[in-house]
Structure 1
Amino acid sequence: MKKILSQILIVASILIYTDAFAGFGENKWEFDANTEAKVGKSESQKVGVIYSCNQLEPAATFHLEYNNDDALDRIKIVTQNPNQVVHNKETKTFIISNATSLEVRFPWASGPYTFRNMTGTKVIGSDCDIGEYN
């Protein structure tokens, strides 16, 4: 029960703005081609968020853009191979290529973030989860 309540508070406290058919869910991700989800920060709940999916179909390419460097060292991106993540500091973009599973940790301090599907086709994530990131 505590985990469910915590997850409800996370979803309620983290602002997520999405294009049509783009977004993270507790059990499923769904991103149409070339769509984006924006992850903001809540002033009432100063907590970050973790989104993870164990299965992405098809293998996906995403761009994660951030606005400031305040907590750059706390943005965590985990794929099956670390070489799939490239950081372009000039454009403040992480490029995640050909991922079949993905975990992204968004710290509260450096939001908002823009997460874009660059795959060129719809991407579905299954076996997904959401959690707090302190």
Structure 2
Amino acid sequence: LEYSMTRQAFGQRIADFQANRFYLAELATEIEIAQVFIDRCIAEASTHTLDEATAAMAKWWVTELHQKVIQRALQLHGGYGFMREYPVAHDYMDSRVATIFGGTTEIMKEIIGRRITRPR
């Protein structure tokens, strides 16, 4: 966000382009929603009521959102996003592993799917 507020292209800040504002608005909203869900999971974990499927939902959703945010940040940085001098380049390289460590996205979906399809 900070970079898009200071970097200029075609005589205006990158953040001033409507398409970029839309992307930033979408990401800010999704991050806020994810934070509410994570807060709920933390509260449940602290009372030992967090179930495996809900934890899997959180792990899947947040790690995929992390990748989405980093990919959009990389786009906003343009070519600079691939330069190792910029933190976003390191974030981009590191973000993929989060979807693998602790169980892949596919495993998380399997855990969730088993819960929602089991006989009641």
TM range (shorter): under 0.3
Greater helix proportion: 2
Determine which structure has more spread, i.e. the larger CA radius of gyration.
2
Greater RCO (CA < 8 Å, at least 6 residues apart): 1
Greater strand proportion: 1
Report the TM-score, using the length of structure 1 for normalisation.
0.22
Report the TM-score, using the length of structure 2 for normalisation.
0.24
